[in-house]
Structure formats: C-alpha cells, structure tokens
C-alpha cells in the first residue's frame, strides 16, 4: 500500500474509534456531562489529562522550537511540567473535596459572591477561546499536509468530529476518547524518536541516547552538536541567549498558568476521591513526562541530522526528505552566491515565509520570490518539520508517516474537545444555571450545555478558518491571564481563611487588567517597542503573567486585611475542604 492510502486508513480508523467511544459513553445527566459522574479511575484520568494538556503545539512544534533555540527552549519543558507539582499540592485535592463542577463554582462559593463568579466565568471563556482557535488551526494544518485537502476543509472535518463527541458524550465521552487519543499520539511520537536515537547513538531509549556518544565515535552527541553549530556561526546549543530574569519569569508564568488553566483543573473534579485526585496528578505528570523528556532528545537528534546532511551540500545531492518538504513549502533554498550549494548559518535568508515562483530555479529548486536579507544563510526551514520529517529522515516505512498524521490530529482534537467542554459548561452551568436562570431543570441545563458546545465548536471553527492575525501571539494571553487571575484566587481561597470577597475580586481584576494591558501594549499597540530595552525589568510579554500574579496576591492581601473577614460558614467551608474525608460522589444541586 502506498503512504497516502495508509494515511487515510489510519486517520479513518482512529476517527471511527473516537466516535465509537463517544456513542458508547454518551452522557445522560449533567453530572455525567460536566464531570463524568466523578467515576474516572486515576490512571485513566491521568492519561486523559495528558491528552487534554498536550496540544498540537506540544506534539508538532515544541521539539522544533527547542531544536532551533537549544537551552532557551527549556522554558517550555520546565514550564509545562512544573505546573503539575503546583496542581498536585496546592489545588487538585482541595478542589476535588469541594466537590462541585467548575472553577467559577469554587470562586463563587468560596468568595460568597456572584460578582467574583462572573469575573471568573469571563476569564474562563476568554482563555479557552484563545486556546481553542489555535487548536482548530492545527487540525486544519495537519489535514492539509497529509490528506491533500485544503486547510478550511480540514477545519470543517475536525469541527464535525469534535462536535460529535463533545456534544454527545460531554466529559464522560471526552475522557474516554482522550485516553484513546493519548495512546495514539504517544505511539506516534515515540516510534520515530526511538529509531532516530538508535540511528545516531545506538541507544534505543531517546532520553539516554541524548546523553550518549555518537555511533562509531567517542564524541558525545551534544558536544558534536555544539561543534557543528559553532562552525556555522550559531550560538552554542547548550548555552542560552535570553536574559536570566526573562527566562525565570516566563518559566514561572507557564508553570503557574498551567496550574491555573480551567480545562486542566476541571479534570481533577472527575476522580472518585481526594486520594484519587492526588494520584491522578502524579499519573498525569508521568504520562506527560514521557513526551516532554523525549522532546529535547528529539530536538537534538533532528538538529544534528540537519547540520550534518545539509550545509555545504549541493542542491543536486540533498537527501530526499529535503525535496519532499520543499514541495510542501516548509523548506526553501535561495542560492545567493550562485554556487549551487546550500549555505546555512544564523539569521533568516529572506523576509517572512517563502512565496514561490511557478518556474523552477537554475538548479531545479523551487524559486523563492521573497526579498533576500544581507545574511549569508540561504536556507529556510520551518520549525515544524523537525518532528514531521523525522520518519523520512530515519528511513522509516510509510505507516510511520501515517501514524504521525493520526497522532497530530489526536493531539489537536483532544485539546480542542477539553476546551470546548469548559466553554459549554461555563455558559450552561455558571452563566445560566448559577447566575441568570437558576430555575431551569436538569434536562434543560443539559440541553443548554449541548447547544453551547455546538455554538462554541462553530465559533472555534470560524477562528480556525479565518485566524485572527494575532492567533500565534495570543498564546501568551492564555497562560499569563490564567496565572494572573485564577491561580492566586484559588490558592489563597484554600490556604488563607482571611482572604475575602473584596480582596479576591480586586486582586483578580488588577492581575487581569495589568497582564492584559501589558501584552496588548507590546503585541498590538506598539509592536516596534517589543524588545528588552523597553520591557519592564526586561520581562517579555510572555513572562509578564508572573508579575500580574504577584500584584494579584499583594492586592488581595491588602484589601482583605482592611475589609471584614469572611463569614463563619465560609471559614467552616475552608476547614472542610482541607481534610479529605467525606468527599463522596457528585453533589446534586
């Protein structure tokens, strides 16, 4: 069978599997729809959390980014795993004991205020939409690269699948499809990584191959990589270029943001007991760590392969993967010095992403029409191919390529579904049932949740088809805002009996407004000033959520101290959530 047929077969089979699971596990009550009746085994919940968490960005882009920036890429590795320590110790067990359905539920009850709940609902919806737009785009891109349909058709097919299982199955359906998606994506990620590791170092475990010697020599892989890079004028791979303060703040914002993201938190509402919530955080991190410790190894392998097989080679002799991805427009070569060889070095060969002329160039390459830059480098490489091209680089059979396509789709779909569920829950439960129309029956609430999910899928799809120009830039929003708004409100709500309504509302608003304003200023109002000289204390917009969080904590503390302490029944509530016994099943309402 040829590769294209295999891709259709794999993608079709996984879609059929997801739909089958959704039909089998469809939700019949709000408790099933919102939190899968709190009956999810911790190991399965860990897997589902892993799939929920690891998006198209983790699966496709992260290793590529690390591959190009080396040590600086660690902010993602530490930031997107370290947050689980905070989740396990500061949030998950207590929110599970609290025992309701959503993050705004907790904020509203703990701060005895529908205003606080409303602020939380707005944050949830904003953060989740920002995030989901990128996922739908990811689905479209995977479709267009592998299934030869255009991006928009890809987005629509993706919408239809997500629509089906999130609207039908709710949290219960999503949980079990995410378990399947986790298995698909991990298998797809690990197979090429293992083969590349064996090819380069002879060690089948990528995490160990990363620190081994290159096959047939005594040089360590990383030393070789540092050497190759320095020869071509790149920075040393294992040294950073970002300032320490910026790396510190970005890592902290990503960690705290991870722990504050509503679609991750809500997964810990689904376990049967408090003990299981803790356990499930451990399993989640284990399942995530398998990918996150492989990614830096994969990044180093891919970088080594690129630097040994391309620079200085004449175009006529490049490996076949180069031409495959040139055809896809993700690799481009502009022969600046007319020697027919590919020169590669720091900087960009031309401005922006490549646009191609119809006629081929002198050596048969796709001719680039972009204006060249003064830099000597002639090679454009899209970061995503560091993962996508691996099966070909490692000479793996066609079914591995098909696996990567199915894995990329699993990663994007699972995250999109988790986010859509959070959006639909916020609207039906937090906005309608708890705020606007408290008298609706459970059946009506369930219907409202499904309608909200359907509308959210369509809106997300529209964002995917017509991506707002700023989609790539607003990822910082989701993490920064989660860090600056929810995280302090929830943690203070559990660990301080003194934090009150006024403090929490003021804190959330200050943290949110400050972070929002800083990002908007540097990303949209004055992008030309977006550099270290103009940033406060050298903190980039990606890391500013950390400062927003600090402001939130200070404001909450000061305002709480000068206003009345929370009423007695709230103090009792806090004492109650601090001990595990008596969590029981989902509380009916």
Partner 1 sequence: MSSPKRPEAAQAYWQENLRLMLILLAIWFFISFGCGILFVEQLNAIQFFGFPLGFWFAQQGSIFGFLGLIAFYVWKMNQLDRKHDFHED
List of residues contacting partner 1 (CB under 8 A):
66, 71, 73-74, 77-78, 81-82, 84-85, 88-90, 93, 207, 210-213, 220-223, 238-240, 244, 247-248, 251-252, 255, 273-275, 278-279, 281-282, 285-286, 289, 292-293, 296, 569, 572-573, 575-576, 578-583
CB of 425 to partner 1, least distance (A): 22
- Distance CA(326)–CA(315), nearest Å, equals 12
Judged by beta carbon, residue 151 or residue 281, the one nearer partner 1 is 281
Q: With H, G, I as helix, E, B as strand and everything else as coil, classify residue 356.
A: strand
Q: Tell me whether residue 458 or residue 579 sits nearer to partner 1 (CB atom).
A: 579
CB 238 within 8 A of CB 70: yes
Q: Of 434, 457, 103, 28, give the one whose Cα is nearest residue 259.
A: 103
Residue closer to partner 1, measured from CB, 357 or 572? 572
The angle subtended at Cα 46 by Cα 101 and Cα 48, nearest 5°, is: 70
- C-alpha 397/C-alpha 328 separation (Å) is 20
* CA separation for the pair 77, 516 (Å, rounded): 25
Q: Smallest distance, Å, CB 281 to partner 1? A: 6
* 185/182 Cα distance (integer angstroms): 5
Between 442 and 576, name the residue whose CB sits nearer to partner 1: 576
- CB of residue 213 to partner 1, shortest distance in Å: 7
Residue of 204, 363, 229, 201 whose CA lies nearest to 306: 229
Q: Which is nearer to partner 1, 104 or 206 (CB)?
A: 206
Q: Give min distance, CB of 537 to partner 1, in A.
A: 15
Cα distances (angstroms) measured from residue 540 to each of 57, 246, 247, 433, 480:
20, 6, 9, 40, 11
Instruction: Check: CB of residue 268 under 8 Å from CB of residue 30.
Output: no
Q: Which three-class secondary structure state does DSSP give residue 539?
A: coil
- Least distance in angstroms from the C-beta of 272 to partner 1: 9
Least CB distance from residue 77 to partner 1, whole Å? 6
**Nearer to partner 1 (CB atom), residue 205 or residue 465:** 205
Separation between Cα atoms, residue 422 and residue 429, nearest integer Å: 10
Closest separation in Å from C-beta 197 to partner 1:
13
Burial label, 491 (beta-carbon count in 10 A; 0-12, 13-18, 19+): buried
> Among residues 152 and 496, whose Cβ is nearest to partner 1?
496
Query: Residue 194 or residue 455: which is nearer to partner 1 going by CB?
Result: 194
The pair of structure tokens assigned to 304 is 């080594």
Least distance to partner 1, CB of residue 311, Å = 23
């Amino acid at each position: 069978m040829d590769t294209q047929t295999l891709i259709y077969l794999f993608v079709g089979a996984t879609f059929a599997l997801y739909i089958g699971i959704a039909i089998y596990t469809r939700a019949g009550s709000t408790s099933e729809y919102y939190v899968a009746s709190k009956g999810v085994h911790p190991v399965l919940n860990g897997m589902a959390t892993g799939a929920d968490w690891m998006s198209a960005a983790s699966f496709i882009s992260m290793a590529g980014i690390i591959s190009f920036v080396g040590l600086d890429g660690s902010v993602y590795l530490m930031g997107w795993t370290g947050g689980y320590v905070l989740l396990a110790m500061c949030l998950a067990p207590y929110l599970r004991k609290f025992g309701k359905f959503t993050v705004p539920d907790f904020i509203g009850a703990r701060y005895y205020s529908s205003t606080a709940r409303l602020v939380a609902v707005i944050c949830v919806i904003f953060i989740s939409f920002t995030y989901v737009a990128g996922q739908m785009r990811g689905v479209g891109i995977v479709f267009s690269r592998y299934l030869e349909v255009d991006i928009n058709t890809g987005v629509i097919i993706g919408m239809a699948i997500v629509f089906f299982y999130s609207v039908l199955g709710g949290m219960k359906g999503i949980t079990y499809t995410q378990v399947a998606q986790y298995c698909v994506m991990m298998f797809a990620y690990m197979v090429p990584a293992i083969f590349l590791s064996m090819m380069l170092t002879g060690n089948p475990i990528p995490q160990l191959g990363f620190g081994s010697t290159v096959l047939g020599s005594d040089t360590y892989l990383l030393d070789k990589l540092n050497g190759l890079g320095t020869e071509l004028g790149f920075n040393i791979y294992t040294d950073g270029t970002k300032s320490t303060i910026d790396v510190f703040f970005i890592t902290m914002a990503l960690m705290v943001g991870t722990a504050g993201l509503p679609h991750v938190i809500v997964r810990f509402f689904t376990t049967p007991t408090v003990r299981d919530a803790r356990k499930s955080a451990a399993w989640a991190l284990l399942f995530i760590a398998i990918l996150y410790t492989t990614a830096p190894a994969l990044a180093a392998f891919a970088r080594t392969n690129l630097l040994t097989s391309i620079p200085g080679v004449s175009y006529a002799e490049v490996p076949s993967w180069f031409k495959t991805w040139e055809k896809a427009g993700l690799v481009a070569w502009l022969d600046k010095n007319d020697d027919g060889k590919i020169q590669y070095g720091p900087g960009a060969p031309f401005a922006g992403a490549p646009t191609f002329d119809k006629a081929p160039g002198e050596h048969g390459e796709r001719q680039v029409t972009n204006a060249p830059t003064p830099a000597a480098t002639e090679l454009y490489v899209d970061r995503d191919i560091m993962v996508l091209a691996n099966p070909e680089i490692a000479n793996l059979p066609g079914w591995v390529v098909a696996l990567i396509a199915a894995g990329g789709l699993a990663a994007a779909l699972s995250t999109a579904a988790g986010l859509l569920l959070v959006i639909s829950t916020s609207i039906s439960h937090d906005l309608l049932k708890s705020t606007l129309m408290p008298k609706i029956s459970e059946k009506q609430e369930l219907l409202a949740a499904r309608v909200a999910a359907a509308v959210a899928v369509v809106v997300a799809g529209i964002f995917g088809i017509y991506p707002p120009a700023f989609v790539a830039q607003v990822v910082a929003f989701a993490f920064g805002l989660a860090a600056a708004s929810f995280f302090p409100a929830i943690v203070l709500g559990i660990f301080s009996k003194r934090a009150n309504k006024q403090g929490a509302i003021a804190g959330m608003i200050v943290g949110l407004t400050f972070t929002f304003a800083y990002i908007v200023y540097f990303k949209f109002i004055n992008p030309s000033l977006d550099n270290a000289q103009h940033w406060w204390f050298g903190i980039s917009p990606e890391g500013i959520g950390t400062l927003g969080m600090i402001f939130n904590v200070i404001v909450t503390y000061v305002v709480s101290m000068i206003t009345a302490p929370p009423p007695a029944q709230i103090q009792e509530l806090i004492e109650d959530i601090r001990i595990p016994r008596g969590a029981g099943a989902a509380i009916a309402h």
